[in-house]
Structure 1
Amino acid sequence: MPSNSMALTPGLSSFLKSLKTNPIDTSIDNLISLLKRRQIRHSRSCAIATAYLLLRVVSAFRTTEAAKLIERVQNVGRRLVAAQPREMVVGNIVRRVLGLIRDEAEDERDAEFSLSSDAGTDSRPHTPPRGPSPSRLAPQSHISSSLKPGDTDTKDQDTASVLSERSSSRPPVNSFAPTPAPISMFSLLSHPETESPQTGSPVPASPSGRVPGHGPSKDIRAEIIDGIGEIIDELGQVDDQIAGYALEHIHSNEIILTHTSSSTVQKFLLKAAAKRKFTVIHAESYPNNHEATHATVSGTAYSDEETMSFESFQKPLIALGITVILIPDSAVFALMSRVNKVILGTHSVLANGGLVAAAGTRVIARAAKVHQTPVVVVSGVYKLSPVYPFDYEALIEYGDASKVIGYEDGDLVDKIDVENPLYDYVPAELVDLYITNLGGHAPSYLYRIVSDHYRKEDINF
């Protein structure tokens, strides 16, 4: 019985299992419910769930028309984004899938256009008829009419006789024209006469862009499914790809400050700890992430389904000989003067270079700005959103206030308003460098990466 209850626990693992058996509409409603109730919270978990759901949507779609497939994905994407607008990665995955569909549709359109160009060009060599040229036929009548009886010019007579003999030995020009075959009056309307296209004239295409006589367009779903599979593979490899740049940014005997139990940050530090010796000061991120942070530092298990699935490590930093100092969040400013570098994780990155990260990140970034300590943010490309933060307050999500002050303190709670923000907005001027799975970038360079991954027509789908 306990095993059955654990298997039915709402979360990413249970959703992926039910996705294989449930109908597609039921799976969409299930993911919407999980997003609304925040039973899937982490960015990568939401991205994986969205990618697998869209993979199922595309594979279950039975129409080969790209426009209808785009409309279907847009409808599903709007419902998912409306369920949890603060999860930027959901919209990012939808935009990338829409871009895949548009790219495949354009490739198919280009292939059809090349086929129409090839079909409109006559591949057979064009041989001109062997009749006399008009430039030679004109002088014949002129010379024959200019010769009068009684003329004694023998030279002109010889020339005229030669031209007349040549013209009489060749058939007339009209004799080389093809003679049309007789057509019955009964078959005149059922078999209309079609003229062969001229050399270089394109074959007219249908309004849908297809070439007549070439059959229906191919099914582009196979290519789109392969593209979504590549996105899923990228989500599973993004932390390892980011960790590959660790030795370029972490040096020996440095003091590095970090925050929360981000799996991307931990793998980044573990990669550098294999060859470098440094010190890590770890802020505990109270009250929302302190338990997971303590478990990450000590290497003990943490009873969270998503954390155990995607944030479990073989060894903690202390097992590799790295000195790790766990401090409360209030001591960040006091120790920042001794820190050489700040490495932070993020929940999402916005179009202006700012980021939404765990609560307490903005305080750390401002303290680093005062002490002129470089701030490095590690993030996968799938977290880069083309959405501009016009309203910063709308991006902040608030959690359970009882984690700050317990409900047992009833008298105190009635007198004050208690808020527990889960995230902070950090402006771009407080960040010095972004490290993604594509390398290191300045905040002002992120718009180029965003323009390469998302199409303009899909930003506001």
Structure 2
Amino acid sequence: MLLRTLGCLLLPQEPSWRQPSLHGVRGLGATEAAEEALKGLRRLVEEARDVWGLLEALDFLEARIAARPFSAPLVNTARGILEALASKEYESIGEARKSISESVDRVLARVVEETEAAAEIAARRLEDGDVVLTQGYSRSVIRALEKAAAMGKDIRVIVAESRPLLDGVEAARALARIGIEVTLIVDSAMRFMVKDATRALIGADAVTADGTVISRTGAGLLALAANEARVRLIVVAGSYKLYPDTVYGLSIETPALGDEIIPEEHRRLGVRGYAPLFEHIPPNLVDALATEKGLVAPEAVPVLIREEYGEWPPRLEPLDKLFARARERLRELARAENR
């Protein structure tokens, strides 16, 4: 699946939810972006008065996945909703609408529960006096640090600013507001500053079937620096971040920013810009995943997926086919109601 850059998603003539090129990216961690998208989906579903309203809601969900294709919560939620729509015999639009809303509510509750539990596990691995190196904005990481502070542990944090979206600046602000001592650094200083760190923490958009972590670009540099300095790297991610669709490989191109990151005078000279927004961190650079089930090695991810789906490898229908079948089922329901 080849995606256009986010900057090319701007379609002024379409509904407003299609328009922002950085929707679900700027200032939002993976969990917040997923929650915002799911709440938007639920709102559209609840406002739908006919099949066309529900089809519009599916368009919204597909667009949000296209903007953030590595969002395991969105992909997993979409799978559950689409499988239900494609396989169940709904007697009315109201019944289909209720089913989708209930599915979204279950996922939102699970996200909160697993985020809190994973953050608790990570917090307990931190020790009084630790200096934590992190990058980007992750609610899971911020909650872990907040919980560690609440346990009475004196924690200091070094945050990389995370250009070009400056997610790390937002993280530094959030941590300072809860009373944690923070040092904000430029991304290029991560290798230099890791010598002062005793732990490294990052969040994730997804964890693939082989234990690879997908996170905001820059996390890979942090992982390499931590590995070189023998600083343990923990990824804070609830099981809702598992991405079982990747069991047969991952062929998604990361969304990226382009010339918009370049000063105008440079653009006039022909300088081009490219800023990929996500990258893969191989499991050998990750010491552990802090999940709601406990601290686990990346190599244990297949076990977690088997527990979730009942088999390994899980048999999963491609998402684009599920979208097509769900849309056709809704059209059939509309035709039945019009008879």
TM over 0.5: yes
Q: Determine if the alignment matches structure 1 residue 325 to structure 2 residue 183.
A: yes
Query: Which residue of 302, 316, 319 corresponds with 1:459?
Result: 316
Deviation sequence 1:12-31 (CA, Å, 0-9, x none):
45543232121344333344
Counterpart in the other structure of 1:346:
204
Quote the Cα distance in structure 1 between the aligned partners of 2:101 and 2:145: 34
Aligned match of 1:446: 301
Match of 1:90 in 2: 74
1-side partners of 2:54 and 2:104: how far apart? 18
Q: Are residues 281 and 398 of structure 1, via their aligned partners in 2, closer, same or farther at CA, if it must alter by over 3 Å?
A: same
- Structure 1 distance, partners of 2:122, 2:249, is 34
Question: In structure 2, what is the Cα distance between the partners aligned to 1:383 and 1:250?
Answer: 22
Tell me: CA distance 1:18–1:230, structure 2 relative to 1, closer, same or farther (3 Å). closer
**Is the aligned partner of 1:297 residue 2:172?**
yes
- Could you tell me whether the CA contact under 8 Å between 2:45 and 2:100 is conserved in 1? no
Give identity over the alignment, percent: 24
Does 1:18 pair with 2:48?
no
Distance in 2 separating the partners of 1:227 and 1:31: 14
Question: Within 1, Cα distance between the matches of 2:44 and 2:82?
Answer: 24
How far 1:437 sits from its partner (Å)? 1.8
Structure 1 residue 223 displacement after superposition? 10
Unaligned 5+ residue runs, structure 1? Answer: 1-7, 41-45, 47-81, 105-221, 299-315
Is 1:425 the counterpart of 2:283 in the alignment? Answer: no
Give the distance between the partners of 2:195 and 2:155, measured in 1 at CA: 16
Cα distance change, pair 24–90 in 1 and its aligned pair in 2 (3 A): farther
Give the letter aligned to residue 345 of structure 1: G
Matched, 1:231 2:107: yes
* Cα 1:223–1:285 shift into 2, 3 Å: closer
Could you say if the C-alpha distance between residues 14 and 417 of structure 1 is closer, same or farther in structure 2, counting changes exceeding 3 Å?
same
Indicate yes or no: 2:149 matched with 1:273. Answer: yes
Supply the distance in 2 between the matched residues of 1:438 and 1:95 (Cα, whole angstroms).
Answer: 23
The aligned counterpart of 2:223 is 365
User: Residue by residue, what CA displacement relative to the aligned partner does 1:211-243 show, whole Å, maximum 9, x if unpaired?
Assistant: xxxxxxxxxxx9999777543311232222222
**Distance in 2 separating the partners of 1:343 and 1:263:** 12
Q: CA distance change for structure 1 residues 400 and 35 in 2, over 3 Å: closer, same or farther?
A: farther
Q: Is the 8 A contact 1:358 1:424 kept in 2?
A: yes
SS of the aligned residue for 1:434 comes to: strand
Question: Alignment length, in residue pairs?
Answer: 272
Q: Residues 393 and 339 (structure 1 numbering): CA distance in 2 closer, same or farther, change over 3 Å?
A: farther
More strand by percentage: 2
Change (3 A) 1:432 1:391: same
Aligned partner of residue 47 in structure 2, secondary structure = coil
1:178-193 to structure 2, matched below 5 A, reads: none
Higher relative contact order (CA 8 A, sep 6+): 2
Please tell me whether residue 406 in structure 1 is matched to residue 281 in structure 2: no
Match of 1:388 in 2: 246
What per-residue deviation string (whole Å, max 9, x for no partner) do you get for residues 111-154 of structure 1?
xxxxxxxxxxxxxxxxxxxxxxxxxxxxxxxxxxxxxxxxxxxx
Match of 1:264 in 2: 140
1:459 CA displacement: 2.2
Distance 2:210 2:240 in 1: 16
Paired residue type of 2:159: H
Alpha-carbon shift at residue 366 of structure 1 (Å): 0.7
Q: CA deviation at 1:382?
A: 1.2
Do 2:215 and 2:278's aligned partners in 1 also have CA atoms closer than 8 Å? yes
Q: TM-score, normalised by structure 1?
A: 0.52
Where does residue 130 of structure 2 map in the other structure?
254
| Greater Rg by CA | 1
Task: Return the letter of the residue paired with 2:73.
Answer: V
Whether the aligned pair in 2 keeps the contact of 1:256 and 1:280 (CA below 8 Å) is yes
Which amino acid in the other structure matches residue 372 of structure 1? R
Q: 1:168-209, CA deviations, whole angstroms, 9 ceiling, x for partnerless residues?
A: xxxxxxxxxxxxxxxxxxxxxxxxxxxxxxxxxxxxxxxxxx
**C-alpha distance in 1 between matches for 2:129 and 2:81:** 44
State the 1:357 CA deviation.
0.6
Give the deviation of 1:406 after TM superposition. 2.6
Q: 2:163 aligned with 1:286, yes or no?
A: yes
